[in-house]
Amino acid sequence: MSKLIIKIFPLIISLGVLFISCTNNRDDDYDKENLSNEIKNAKVTEFNSFYFVGNNSGIPSIFKYDYVNDTYKIFWHSDDERVMDLLVSPDYKSAYFICKRKQRLKSSQPAIEKGRLYRIDFELNKADLITQLEDGIQVIPFWTDNDRFTLIINSIDKTIASYVNKNIQVYNRFGKLLSDNTEIFDLTKDGYPVTKFPSLNYKSPNGLFEVIEKKDSIYIRQQKSQKEIKTKFKSKKILQLAWAENNKHLIILFKSYNVLTKNQTDQKKSILAIYDLQLQKTVKMFGTFENNRFVLIGDFLIFDNSFGRDSYIEIFKLETLTDFKIIKINGGCGLRNI
């Protein structure tokens, strides 16, 4: 009996391996078929325009690009105020921007005095003043989701110098204040207040893929087969991540160990990569700086590059993987600031 078991054991192992292999292949085919259907049925938003910050007579102002006419013009400008930050909602249907009249440096943190919060009404195509901001040593604005905009202002307590007041304001997309709370931090006991930002969307909206970070590598995991596809990127940190509406492309902006060239200035750059989920490979890469950002509108990838007076904006068409336009303004321009 034992001899019989010894003889058939290798056969059992072989059949088991074959069964697992067949199952994995079926799951892999299922993933590919699902993706093909998602790409075929994808509904892509029509690209009409986008807002950005540009230099106008030495003052950072809001510009608007018109895709139909392929032109851009000043949307909002003030001789007394400089645009500090422009933040558009993830679904690109609402936006806020922060202006300042005076800025100083204190405790190595950016400061704001006489600041104001404005909202852009996309339907009426105008900007409205929302509120006057309190003075602070640090301003941290971000969208929590498509419907909630969070504004955090840290300021030194006027009575006890070792206290930092963390004021947290939350607005809806229409400019209504939802909450206004202040937390007090004792620097000697609590340390400086830390802000938790919304997590990146590591999982695709259709649930077919997930981005996985292992040590310094980036993997793409398929849902059904759980197969992990290793990309060639050596990432120190993923800065931004987005899934294109065409269901075919994944866009990743990250700090990388890879150096595109041996030029010393390029070593400070990040990498913006377009990954084709169907071909399972990277189809385009751009060298950018860490503070640069991107936005996806329909079938277009829009991102800023360089910094300061040399900054500019690129518009890239995903369908054809071709450059569409580069926007350059004297004094610089960017999606959030310059």
What are the pLDDT digits (tens) for 79-111? 999 999 999 999 999 999 999 985 555 544 446
235 pLDDT tier (thresholds 50, 70, 90): confident
User: What's the average model confidence in pLDDT over 324-331?
Assistant: 96
Q: Tokens at residue 331, please?
A: 């004094």
Residue of higher predicted confidence among 189 and 27:
189
Rounded to the nearest integer, the mean pLDDT of the chain is 88
What are the pLDDT digits (tens) for 60-79? 999 999 999 999 999 999 99
Q: Quick check: 244 pLDDT over 70?
A: yes
Q: Quick check: 262 pLDDT over 70?
A: no
- Spell out the long-range contacts of 284-288 with Cβ–Cβ below 8 A and sequence spacing 24 or more: 284/316, 284/321, 285/260, 286/314, 287/260, 288/253
Residue of higher predicted confidence among 277 and 13:
277
**Domains of the chain in sequence order:** 78-186 (no CATH), 209-334 (2.130.10.120)
Q: What's the pTM value of the predicted model, to 2 decimals?
A: 0.85
Closest residue by Cα to residue 299 from 282, 327, 324? 324
User: What's the average model confidence in pLDDT over 260-275?
Assistant: 68
Residue of higher predicted confidence among 219 and 19:
219
Q: Which residues of 27-58 are buried (b: 16+ CB within 10 A; e: fewer)?
A: beeebeebbeebeeeeeeeebebbbbbbbbee
* Burial of 245 (C-beta count, 10 Å sphere; 0-12/13-18/19+): middle
pLDDT value of position 25: 54
pLDDT value of position 10: 58
290 pLDDT tier (thresholds 50, 70, 90): confident
Q: What is the 3-state secondary structure (H, E, C) of the chain?
A: CHHHHHHHHHHHHHHHHHHHHHHHHHHHHHHHHHHHHHHHCCCCCCCCEEEEEEEECCEEEEEEEECCCCEEEEEECCCCCEEEEEEECCCCCCEEEEEECECCEECCEECEECCEEEEEECCCCEEEEEEECCCECEEEEEECCCCEEEEEEEEECCCCCCEEEEEEEEEECCCCEEEEEEEEEECCCCCCCCCCCCCCCCECCCCCEEEEEECCEEEEEECCCCCEEEEEEEEEEEEEEEECCCCCEEEEEEEECCCCCCCHHHHHEEEEEEEECCCCEEEEEEEEECCCCEEEECCEEEEEECCHHHCEEEEEECCCCEEEEEECCCCCEECCCC
pLDDT value of position 254: 93
Q: Tokens at residue 114, please?
A: 């006489």
Query: Which residue has tokens 């509904």?
Result: 43
State percent of the chain over pLDDT 90: 75
CA 327 – CA 84 distance, rounded (Å)? 20
Inter-residue contact 200 to 241 (CB < 8 Å) = yes
What are the pLDDT digits (tens) for 12-31? 555 554 444 444 555 566 57
Q: Quick check: 265 pLDDT over 80?
A: no
232 pLDDT tier (thresholds 50, 70, 90): confident
